[in-house]
Amino acid sequence: VDKQQQPPPPKQKQRNLLDNASNLLTNFLSGGNLGAMPVAEGAVTDLFGKPLFFSLYDWFLEHGSVYKLAFGPKSFVVVSDPIVARHILRENAFCYDKGVLAEILKPIMGKGLIPADLDTWKQRRKVITPGFHALFIEAMVRTFTKCSERTISKLEELTESEARVQKSTIVDLEAEFSNLALDIIGLGVFNFDFDSVTKESPVIKAVYGTLFEAEHRSTFYIPYWNLPFTKWIVPRQRKFHSDLKVINNCLDNLIKNAKETRQEADVEKLQQRDYSSLKDASLLRFLVDMRGADVDDRQLRDDLMTMLIAGHETTAAVLTWSVFLLAQSPTKMRKAQAEVDSVLSNGAITVESLKKLEYIKLIILEALRLYPQPPLLIRRSLRPDKLPGGYNGAKEGYEIPAGTDIFVSIYNLHRSPYFWDRPNEFEPERFSVPKKDESIEGWSGFDPDRSPGAMYPNEIIADFAFLPFGGGPRKCVGDQFALLESTVALALLLRKFDVELRGSPDEVEMVTGATIHTKNGLWCRLRKRT
């Protein structure tokens, strides 16, 4: 981090009548309750036609790392500061819940971990976390390998069909990763093989329909679906409810089967089971078999649905953007392939061999830095709170009243010119050099001593300037699962193929809902390596 580095000057905005009207509204609505906090003079036009987090970034450079944004009848505090983020996510985490996000997700995830009220969350988190134990993760590595090989075989067949002289093909890798991640999460969470890489089925269609609706709801500012009768009148809401029914029926059956074959045991015993010979290694099996963790079917279904959604698109997105970045950097792609060739040249893929894929892991983390999934964390204060002073433009702490809606912008933190050299460049190597106490006051760079044994640079090492999986008690439960899954999938792809973008990188536009994805797919030419 360069102490002297200043952020680029804010862009001059073209104002028009609509913008001015919205500014008046903004200032009127934002009066008073957040004291001296800077107010983003955003325009309505900033909110449409491009992802919201782009505008939040421009306003961060203009107004500093804690500012207030008001649009329509709503106002939000936008946080892009590591100290303030650490306070909200970790130090005073239980002063906040998921606010708007919970309102959007409750109809889909019920009382699953993401939208759950704090009491339910405490109970369920205590039971679900032990499910991600070492032997489960090891068993999952076998599942990641099997599913990734299925995808690779399909892609190989495509390159070899049609008598291709050059052994190449053009595919939408985003769609392939989405299918792969769905197959993996289905097997890992409830031992259900969607086999979406090779098949279509009503359940798969229903899952995609539901994900699509979750996206729609997270970008639509007016929750019209809460109005009475919309579920019968509005066609997309009708479809959503029928999709939800298909998935719920499928999950209910899986839960019923798991309960009928229950083999109750203490947690420690379950964590030592011989996973290499278990037919069903899923989390559902673990949750049902755990002694003393009896819970009604509805709660179990909410847990499964939450993990299905939380673990699917996020992983598909990190794979998509990793490939997007690598395909523009042939030297880095060759370096990655050389590592894969040497580490995976013989023997089965194991947790131990994956640890040696250092560069692949850094590529994934750098992709998560540039394209965080999700780009914003959402919170609402349950009680009044005093935010601590932070860095740029947020040196004084602000009082916030109960009910304040907050966006912690991971996108801004990850691309902050205050904390990252060349913040917009793809440089996986940046993580391999730990930095110590060489930057602005209070910021100690990546210090592995803070998190001994950490398998990857994380929020503790980076002191909350890097939040690939969030931080504090609501941190992702599936972080190791997701990292190993992405490592296996990326390594196996690069072992077999050279990847090029079909068009220019600018054509791969970003759109966002809960995660960042491409506008029209990630179309790539895959050429079989010789």
Tell me the binding residues for heme: 476
- Residue of 476, 484, 490, 491 interacting with ligand HEM (CB under 6 A): 476
Q: Looking at beta carbons only, is 26 or 282 nearer to ligand HEM? A: 282
Q: For ligand HEM, give the closer residue by CB, 372 or 423.
A: 372
Distance between CA atoms of 121 and 123, rounded to whole angstroms?
5
Site for ligand HEM in 289-348 (CB under 6 A): 306-307, 310-311, 314-315, 318
Which is nearer to ligand HEM, 75 or 314 (by Cβ)? 314
Instruction: Measure the CA–CA gap between 126 and 123, rounded to whole angstroms.
Output: 6
Q: Which residue do the tokens 């536009």 mark?
A: 509
Rounded Cα–Cα distance for residues 80 and 307 (Å)? 27
3-state helix, strand, coil in the chain (%, to 5): 55, 10, 35
Q: Of 29, 13, 33, whose CA–CA distance to 70 is shortest?
A: 29
The span from the first CA to the last CA of the chain, in angstroms, equals 41
Instruction: Tell me, residue by residue from 30 to 69, as one string, x for binding to ligand HEM by CB under 6 A and - for no binding.
Output: ----------------------------------------
Q: How many residues bind ligand HEM (CB under 6 A)?
A: 22
Question: C-beta of 353: minimal distance to ligand HEM in Å?
Answer: 20
Mark residues 349-378: x for contact with ligand HEM by CB under 6 A, - for none: -------------------x----x---x-
| Residue sitting closest to ligand HEM (CB) | 478
Binding mask 253-292 for ligand HEM (x = CB under 6 A): ----------------------------------------
What's the rounded Cα separation, in Å, for the pair 2 and 19? Answer: 36
Between CA 460 and CA 475 the distance in angstroms is 12
List b or e across 198-214, with b for residues whose CB sees 16 or more CB atoms inside 10 angstroms.
Answer: eeeeebbebbbbbbebb
Residue 161's H or E segment, with its range, is none
Beta strand 74-79 with 66-71: parallel, antiparallel or unpaired? antiparallel
| Binding to ligand HEM in span 80-119, by CB under 6 A | 113-114
* Secondary structure, 3-state, 340-363: HHHHCCCCCCCHHHHHCCHHHHHH
Paired strand residues for 69? 40, 76
Minimum CB separation of residue 492 from ligand HEM in Å reads: 17
Q: Spell out the residues 6+ positions from residue 168 whose beta carbon is closer than 8 angstroms to its own.
A: 159, 525, 526, 527, 528
Rounded Cα distance between 521 and 179, Å, is 13
User: Of 155, 481, 491, 518, which lies in the binding site for ligand HEM, with binding defined by CB under 6 A?
Assistant: 481
Scanning the structure block, which residue is given the tokens 């907050």?
406
Separation between Cα atoms, residue 31 and residue 69, nearest integer Å: 11
Verify binding: residue 251, ligand HEM, rule CB under 6 A.
no
Q: How far is the CB of 474 from ligand HEM (least distance, A)?
A: 4
Binding mask 117-136 for ligand HEM (x = CB under 6 A): --------x-----------
Segment contacting ligand HEM (CB under 6 A): 270-278, 287-295, 469-477, 491-499? 469-477
* φ, ψ of residue 43 in degrees (nearest 5): -115, 150
Closest CB 215 distance from ligand HEM, rounded Å: 16
Cβ nearer to ligand HEM, comparing 98 with 273:
98
Nearer to ligand HEM among residue 140 and residue 394 (C-beta): 140
Helix/strand/coil for 519: coil
Near ligand HEM in 380-399, by CB under 6 A:
none
Q: Does 192 bind ligand HEM (CB under 6 A)?
A: no
Nearer of residues 39 and 214 to ligand HEM, judged by Cβ? 214
Nearest approach, Cβ of residue 437 and ligand HEM (Å): 27
**Site of tokens 């002191």:** 463
Contact residues for ligand HEM (CB under 6 A)? 113-114, 125, 306-307, 310-311, 314-315, 318, 368, 373, 377, 468-470, 474, 476-478, 481-482
